Amino acid sequence: MNYLKKLAIFFMFISLMSAKIVFAAPTPPVIKAKSAILIDGITGKVLYSKNAEEKRYPASTTKIMSLIVALEHGNLDDIITASSHAANTEGSSLWLTEGEQLKLIDLLYGIMLISGNDATVAVAEHISGSVEKFAQLMTEKAQAIGAKDTHFTNSSGLPDPNHVTTAHDLARITAYGYKNPLFSEIVSTKHKVIPWAGKEFGRDLYNEDRMLWLYEGGNGVKTGYTDLAGRCLVSGAKRNNIQLIAVVLDSDTMWDDSIALLDFGFSQVKSENIVKQDDILKTIRVANGKSEVVKLVASSDLVVPLFEEDKDEFSTVIDAPNKVEAPVIKGQKLGVVRVLYQNKEIATVDLQADENSERKSFFHILADSIMGFLRGFTVKQQSV
């Protein structure tokens, strides 16, 4: 039985089971935040929403987008010199002094772990020449991601009437960020020591996001507070390959709200291993190869989140040729399996050759051509 038939039978079985069994839907939590949302970070599916499209001030959760833009536009080994403007930025600080030099990567840890406003200004000026131009990049990137109700005027989240976003937009931005392994590494770091010029010791940074300690699987991302924004938290947690993202804005109980949201999400989403490493998913021909066919196998497991109510929204596509030219090397990538949710790609796994197929010698290829010609000629003569 080929892979596509097995997959179709799998989803049919799941649908039948869902039809026969009545699942008690978990009760949504009571959230005190003015705005909140919980999404699955892979599919973007909304699992909980409260005033999630309402425009609000993001405070230092802004720095999630500052990190994304810096990673995409900066060189991590660049040496950045803090200007007077950066060193004198108000609010939470990395304690930069004018003229101090640090690598971009160190400043990014300072931004995300202890919310250094001064560090965001130094990074913005280095990459774009000014905070205003950097904020424009941030807004453009937000719009491209799909965060249409977001507009940034600075890199730190300091109050500005035109510096706004929504809970849903922050979730979208964070989900995009998690696709970058370095983003994930930085926002999930609990402790980091970075240089401190002129001192015998480094800057000892402990992440202000308590969820990294409070919640099983917690892996980021950013706290925020101003008088206008209230207490804000974007938090992520990953269990069994399920990445959830919770956003609470203007919440006096942001830790409790976030834990309740994440608990609610993990009670609803289940992970499913739909492709296993070394599964044979397709067989293709090898032109001029000593082996006439080669099997394509999955390079790794492929695990996706599944939801009880919309399993039929998932589909799988195998993207691989029917024939390749020899030589083929074992482990060579020859295709890919794509998993779609609502026709949007959410996961892929490479298809690799399971064995070698060396190219035939010139004389073997010539002999095969002659034999093919003779067979064709014989058939033609018999039909006359």
pLDDT tens digits for 71-94? 999 999 999 999 999 999 999 999
Q: What is the pLDDT of residue 213?
A: 97
pTM for the model stands at 0.86
Section 29-58 average pLDDT: 97
Which two three-digit tokens encode residue 103?
């690598």
Integer angstrom CA distances of residue 26 from 23, 196, 261, 305, 375: 9, 50, 12, 17, 69
**pLDDT by residue (tens digit) across 99-157?**
999 999 999 999 999 999 999 999 999 999 999 999 999 999 999 999 999 999 999 99
- Candidates 204, 168, 209; CA nearest to 188 is 209
User: Could you give the residue numbers annotated as active site?
Assistant: 60, 63, 115
Answer yes or no: is pLDDT of 20 > 50.
no
Residue-wise pLDDT for 297-332, tens only, equals 999 999 999 887 888 898 889 999 999 998 999 999
CA distance 189 to 276: 30
Q: What CA–CA distance (Å, rounded) separates 220 from 124?
A: 22
- Mention the CATH class of domain 30-270: alpha beta
Q: What is the pLDDT of residues 231-273, one digit of tens each?
A: 999 999 999 999 999 999 999 999 999 999 999 999 999 998 9
Which band of pLDDT confidence, cut at 50, 70 and 90, is reported for residue 372? low
Mean pLDDT to the nearest integer, 192-199: 94
Is 342 strand, coil or helix? coil
Question: Which stretches of the chain are assigned E, i.e. beta strand?
Answer: 35-40, 46-50, 79-81, 101-103, 191-194, 203-206, 218-226, 230-239, 242-249, 269-275, 280-287, 293-298, 302-307, 314-319, 323-325, 333-341, 344-353
Residue 342 has a CB neighbour count (10 Å cut-off) of 12
pLDDT of residue 281: 92
Average pLDDT over residues 161-186: 98
Mean model confidence pLDDT for the chain: 90
Find out whether 299 and 281 touch, Cβ atoms under 8 Å: no
* pLDDT band at 22; cut points 50, 70, 90: very low
In this predicted model, what pLDDT tens digit does every residue of 52-62 receive, in sequence order? 999 999 999 99
Looking at residue 106, its pLDDT comes to 98
Sheet order of strands, 344-353 included: 314-319, 333-341, 344-353, 293-298, 280-287, 323-325
Domain ranges of the chain: 30-270, 276-384
Query: Which pLDDT band holds residue 13 (cuts at 50, 70, 90)?
Result: very low
- CATH entry 2.60.410.10 includes domain 276-384: yes
Question: Who has greater pLDDT, 199 or 15?
Answer: 199
